[in-house]
Chain A
């Protein structure tokens, strides 16, 4: 049993696991939806003690089946783990501990009551729109839990959508844009949500998204790599990642450098684990690392920050952006409010898209320098927590 599984079983008596089904092995063949449902029913009837915990599936089950990926994600106790490992339909059961969307600290029902959210206002997005900038012609990559392509604010925003299996292969036939959670829809709409009834949640309402589902259903490095490779192939200029491994893991370091060399701005969330913590890849010096602030310009208490023993860019985050009480799209329609650096990151990705529309040929170094130059630290914001502070769209445009 892996360290993660042992630790979780000892401390909690249960663990979050990925169950790789036999149909998923081989040369990328995926289990059919029917097979997935059949297996789900079998597990229910078998009495295997799948413990009811987090991550409830569609019918309130303790697991979720990803038929196209041929895997199940769920929470099991010890007996359930033993039962699953003995099952002939199961190839392997592995722990699912590390890579995850950077979960919001809080989620609340919300209505969109103003013409634009406070986050858009704070970063000066409406001022840039008045100058004719909407992000038109800019493709932004977003790797997350997926996206609800039917949501009115995302209508016309999704240029490409894909889902990846555990070996990083694109699932075929390409599924319709869908969200396996609610995180991806929220972050996507903050980047490029269109106005609905004259009300805005998106920084760059003219930008297009290349959105891929790479988490929730198998925390494999290759899934994220598959998404990144695909996004590069689609020609994205900005890559927004609101996910990461807790702590410093060098797995994505070389890749982040490749993204930069290929002219893609890596905008990554720093994490929600308070001061003295951070997540990879958001804590690389090569990433544009984003923390969260509230409407009063204070760094959110949960927003991660850390100093590293390195010459270049020793402090993360590089800057902070609106990440408290952020209203954006909810899968199935409507809106909800979330708190987190996951919410701050797409604000900056969207701002970068607006600037790239203004100067499509600008270098990454210059784009980043302009963003940094536009930052101000409100009184009381320590650089150790807020980096260079909060960016401003108009100032960044002038500095470009």
Chain B
């Protein structure tokens, strides 16, 4: 599956898109995004089980960090294992790359305004 195809399947909240574009165009300030993890199977609508959500999030972020050459101190995150969500604070480029990962179902801005 191409990155473009995967990208089209991730629902991105317009406010997050605005914050990402603004951050990319100016100083590299962190962007905070709330991400919903994709259910483990295509037919399932349930979130990953709590332990799996932690693992999925850690693996996903470690993979992206390696891809973009980021250190663990470059980003901050918190997993909501019972809900299958995570919140990520990272530079816009890092967040953009995370949005393109197949584990991510949708994304919203953590803060509005």
Contact = CB atoms under 8 A, between A and B. Distances in A.
B27 to A, nearest CB: 12
Contact of A5 (B78, B85, B108, B113): B113
Contact of A258 (B34, B83, B87, B89): B83
Interface in B36-95: 36, 45-47, 76-78, 80-85, 87, 89
B89 A228 contact: no
Contacts of A95: 112-113
B83 A167 contact: no
A255 B110 contact: no
B105 to A, nearest CB: 8
A219 B83 contact: no
B87 A228 contact: no
B111 A262 contact: no
Given A167-B78, A168-B80, A254-B36, A225 B87 contact: yes
Chain B, interface SS category: strand
A229 B113 contact: no
A40 interface: no
Interface in A163-182: 166-169
A222 B112 contact: no
Given A226-B78, A229-B80, A94 B110 contact: no
Nearest to A3: B113
Interface string A282-322: 00000000000000000000000000000000000000000
A249 to B, nearest CB: 9
A168 B89 CA distance: 12
B13 A258 contact: no
A273 B40 CA distance: 40
A168 B111 contact: no
A4 interface: yes
Interface residues of A, number: 36
A292 B76 CA distance: 41
A138 to B, nearest CB: 19
Nearest to A257: B45
Contacts of B76: 26-27, 167
Interface string A249-265: 01100110110011000
Contact of B113 (A2, A166, A167): A2
A169 B78 contact: yes
B42 to A, nearest CB: 16
A233 B82 contact: yes
Most buried by B among A96, A255, A257: A255
A92 B78 CA distance: 20
B80 A219 contact: no
B46 A261 contact: yes
Contacts of A3: 113
Nearest to A8: B113
Nearest to B87: A222
A99 B112 CA distance: 9
B113 A4 contact: yes
A92 B111 CA distance: 12
A226 B80 contact: yes
Contacts of A229: 80-83, 85
Interface in B13-39: 13, 29, 32, 34, 36
A225 B80 contact: yes
Nearest to A252: B108
A115 interface: no
Given A167-B89, A254-B36, A96 B80 contact: no
A225 B83 contact: yes
Nearest to A251: B108
A261 B83 CA distance: 11
A250 B109 CA distance: 12
B106 interface: yes
Contacts of B46: 258, 261
Contacts of B77: 167
B111 to A, nearest CB: 5
Contacts of A5: 113
A221 B110 contact: yes
A254 B13 CA distance: 13
Contacts of A258: 46-47, 83-84
Given A167-B76, A258-B47, A261-B46, A219 B82 contact: no
Closest 8 A/B residue pairs (Cβ): A95-B113, A4-B113, A229-B80, A222-B87, A232-B82, A97-B113, A229-B82, A167-B78
Given A168-B78, A220-B32, 6 more contacts: A5-B113, A94-B111, A95-B112, A167-B87, A168-B80, A229-B80
Interface of A: 2-5, 18, 26-27, 92, 94-99, 166-169, 219-222, 225-226, 228-229, 232-233, 250-251, 254-255, 257-258, 261-262
5 contacts: A97-B113, A168-B78, A221-B87, A250-B13, A261-B46
